[in-house]
A and B are shown apart, each in its own frame.
Chain A
Amino acid sequence: MKKALFQIFVISSIFSLLVAPCFGEALQDFEGQEGTIKIAGGTAHISVMKEAAKQIMTRYKDIVVTVAGGGSGLGIKQVGEGLVDIGNSGRKPKPEEIEKYKLKMFKWAIDGVGVVVNPANKVQSLTKNQLKDIFSGKIDNWSVLGGVKHAITVYTRDEASGTRAVFWKKALDKENISTKALFVPSNGAMKTAIANDPYAIGYVSVGHMDETVAPVALDGVTPTLDNVKSGQYKIARGLYSNTKSDPSGLTLLFINYLFSSEGQKIALEKGFIPVK
C-alpha cells in the first residue's frame, strides 16, 4: 500500500516536472517582477481578465492584478485619467477619446452580441424588424410572436456599455429603445436577469452565453461562436484593452500575455474568437 502511494507520488512528480515548463511559457517574462496591474472597464472582458490574473498571480506571488467592471466608457475614462493601467472596452474607442487620452488600443479577441431570452420562452427566432419593434415597445406581448400571453420585459444596458453601443448600432440600426426598458449594469447582471425572468428579452456578449439563457436567432442566424467566426452573424465587435500611450513594465507584459498562445487560448475557452 505504502509502496503504491510512493509510486504514484514519484510518477506524478515526474509528470508535473515534465508538464510544468509547457504551461507558463509566456508567463516566464513575469519572472522576478513585482507590482500591481489595475484593470477596469468592459464587463465582457472580465472572465478572460480574471483567468489571466489567476494564472499570473498563482505563479508569481509578488504581482497583484485587480480586475473591475464598470463598462467600456468607464474603462476608457479611467485609463485616460491614469486611475488604472488597462482600460477595457467592448467597442473601439472613439477618435476623440483616442486623441484626448493618447490611447493605444489592443484588440485581442472578437465577440458577438446576441439577443437572449429565458430558456422557457418558446420564441427563439425573430426577424430584425420584430426585434426593433420589441425594443421600441411597439410589440409588447409575447402572444403576438407566438409565445405565452404575457407582457414582454425589455432589458437594456446603460450608455457606458460597449455591448449596448454595438447592439444599438448594428442590431437596432440606432432606433429607439423604449423608456420602459429595465436597466442592468453589466453582462453578468443581464444574464442573471434574463435567467430569472421568463418574460424577458435582452442582449449579451456571445462569450457570456450559457445554458441559463437561450440565444435568439436573428433573421435565421443563431448567435454562436461559429456563426460569429464565419461572419454569418453580423453583430460583432472587437474586445479592446487600452493603455494610455505605449504600455511599459508589467502592463506591457500583461498585454503580451493576452496575445501569447496561452492568453489566446484563455480567450477561446471563455467563448471568444482569438485574433491570432
Chain B
Amino acid sequence: MSNTKEIIARNVFFLSAIASAVMILAILVLMIALGIPLFKAGNFLAIWTGPWAPHKGLYGIWPMISGTLWIALLATALCMPLSLGASFVITSLGGPRLRRMLGTMVRFMTGIPTVIYGFVGIFLLVPLVREGIGGPGMCVLTAGMVLAILISPTMILFVTDSLLAVDLSYVQAAKALGANRVQRLLYVMVPRATGGMAAGIILALGRALGDTLIALMLAGNAIQAPRALLEPARTLTAHVALVKAADFDSLEFRSIFACGIVLYLFATTATVAVRVMLRKREVPT
C-alpha cells in the first residue's frame, strides 16, 4: 500500500519537474517561433545591431540592448561598494545591535514595491540630477542609481550568507592567533567566501537586467543607444512594456520577441555563472 503511494508520489513529482523544465524550453521555442516573421522580413543581423525606426521599416533593438547593459552594469557597479560594505558590517564589523538593525532593514527593503523607488526617483532624484549635473534628468545615471538601491538587498543578503557560511573553527583559530575583527574578515572569511560573493553580485546583476519599472520611469526611454551617463536610454524590458500595445501582426510588435530572446540569454548566462561560482565554493581547499 505504502509502496504504491510512494510510486505515485514519485511519479507526480517527477512529472512536475519535467513540466517546469519543458515550460522553460517551450517559452524559448515560442519566442523564436513568434519572432520568425521579423527575422524573415529583413536583414537578420540588423535586428540585433541596427537602429529602431519603425516608420522607416527598421526594427533594430541594438539601442535597447545597449541601454539595458549601460543601466544594469552601472547599477551593479554602484551597488557593489554599498552592499559589500553593508555585508561586512552585518557579519563582523558592527556591534550586535547595529548588526541586528541593519539586517532587519535590509530584509525590510526586499518588501518595498519597485514603484515606490520609481516615484521617489522621479520627484527627488530626477530634478536633482537635472539641476545639479545637467542633461534631461531622466537618464542612465538616475535609473542606475535607483536600481542600485533596488538590487542591493539581493546582493547584501547573498554576500552576508556566504560570509556567515565560513566554518566557524577557522574564524576562532584566527581569533586565537590574535587576529582582530578586520583581519579575520579580510584574511579568513572573504577569501573562503569569494564564490558565494561573486554569485550574489551576478544575481543582483540579473535582477538589474530584468527590472522593468525603474528604467521605464526614470531612464527616459529614448530610442537611441546612450553614449554618456547623462543621456536617456531605453531598456529591453521597458521597450516590451511600451511596444506591447502595437498591432499584433505588425513587425513592431514582433520585436518584443527579439527582446525576449536577448533577455532570456542574459538570464541563462547569469544562472549558469552563478552555478559555476557556487560549485567552486563547495570544493574544499
Residues of A within 8 A of B (CB): 70-71, 73-74, 77, 97, 151, 153, 158-160, 179-185, 192, 196-197, 199
* B123-A159 in contact (CB<8A): no
The complex places the Cα of A196 from the Cα of B126 at a distance, in Å, of 9
Our pick among B127, B234, B247, B252 for the contact of A183 (Cβ within 8 Å) is B234
Complex contacts, B248 vs chain A, CB 8 Å: 77
- List 27 contacting pairs A-B, 8 Å CB cutoff, sorted by A: A70-B245, A74-B244, A74-B245, A77-B248, A159-B243, A159-B245, A159-B252, A160-B242, A160-B243, A160-B244, A160-B246, A179-B51, A179-B63, A179-B224, A180-B222, A180-B231, A181-B222, A182-B220, A182-B221, A182-B222, A182-B232, A183-B234, A183-B242, A196-B122, A196-B126, A197-B126, A199-B136
Our pick among A97, A179, A185, A199 for the contact of B216 (Cβ within 8 Å) is A185
- Contact residues of A: prevailing secondary structure: mixed
B226-241 vs A, Cβ < 8 Å mask (1 yes, 0 no) = 0000011010000001
Complex contacts, A179 vs chain B, CB 8 Å: 51, 53, 63, 222-224
Q: Does B99 sit at the interface, judged by CB under 8 A? A: no
Besides A159-B243, A159-B246, A183-B234, 13 more A-B contacts (Cβ < 8 Å) are: A70-B245, A77-B245, A151-B135, A153-B137, A158-B242, A158-B245, A159-B54, A179-B223, A180-B232, A183-B221, A185-B242, A197-B130, A197-B136
Complex contacts, A181 vs chain B, CB 8 Å: 222
The complex places the Cα of A185 from the Cα of B53 at a distance, in Å, of 18
Q: What is the number of residues of chain B that contact chain A, defined by CB distance less than 8 Å?
A: 31
The complex places the Cα of A179 from the Cα of B138 at a distance, in Å, of 14
- Contact residues of B: prevailing secondary structure: loop
Shortest beta-carbon distance from B90 to chain A in Å: 37
* B245-A160 in contact (CB<8A): yes
The complex places the Cα of A160 from the Cα of B136 at a distance, in Å, of 24
Complex contacts, B241 vs chain A, CB 8 Å: 185
* A153-B243 in contact (CB<8A): no
* B222-A183 in contact (CB<8A): yes
Residue of A with least CB distance to B51: A179
Residue of B with least CB distance to A183: B221
* B123-A196 in contact (CB<8A): yes
* B220-A73 in contact (CB<8A): no
The complex places the Cα of A70 from the Cα of B137 at a distance, in Å, of 25
The complex places the Cα of A158 from the Cα of B243 at a distance, in Å, of 7
Shortest beta-carbon distance from A7 to chain B in Å: 49
The complex places the Cα of A153 from the Cα of B231 at a distance, in Å, of 11
The complex places the Cα of A244 from the Cα of B178 at a distance, in Å, of 79
Complex contacts, A70 vs chain B, CB 8 Å: 245
The complex places the Cα of A256 from the Cα of B242 at a distance, in Å, of 32
* A180-B216 in contact (CB<8A): no
Our pick among B54, B137, B222, B242 for the contact of A197 (Cβ within 8 Å) is B137
* A97-B224 in contact (CB<8A): no
Our pick among A97, A153, A159, A184 for the contact of B136 (Cβ within 8 Å) is A153
The complex places the Cα of A97 from the Cα of B246 at a distance, in Å, of 12
The complex places the Cα of A82 from the Cα of B189 at a distance, in Å, of 59
* B136-A73 in contact (CB<8A): no
The complex places the Cα of A97 from the Cα of B54 at a distance, in Å, of 19
Shortest beta-carbon distance from A227 to chain B in Å: 29
Complex contacts, B243 vs chain A, CB 8 Å: 158-160
The complex places the Cα of A158 from the Cα of B242 at a distance, in Å, of 6
Complex contacts, B216 vs chain A, CB 8 Å: 185
Residue of A with least CB distance to B238: A183
Our pick among B138, B221, B224, B247 for the contact of A77 (Cβ within 8 Å) is B247
The complex places the Cα of A151 from the Cα of B130 at a distance, in Å, of 11
Residue of A with least CB distance to B232: A182
Complex contacts, B63 vs chain A, CB 8 Å: 179
The complex places the Cα of A50 from the Cα of B243 at a distance, in Å, of 25
Q: A182-B136, A182-B138, A196-B123 are in contact. Are A73 and B245 (CB under 8 A)?
A: yes
Complex contacts, B123 vs chain A, CB 8 Å: 196
Complex contacts, B244 vs chain A, CB 8 Å: 74, 160
Chain B residues 118 to 148 lying within 8 A of chain A, measured CB to CB, are 122-123, 126-127, 130, 135-138
The complex places the Cα of A135 from the Cα of B52 at a distance, in Å, of 17
Residue of A with least CB distance to B249: A100
* B222-A73 in contact (CB<8A): no
Shortest beta-carbon distance from B127 to chain A in Å: 7
Complex contacts, B51 vs chain A, CB 8 Å: 179
Our pick among B130, B221, B245 for the contact of A71 (Cβ within 8 Å) is B245
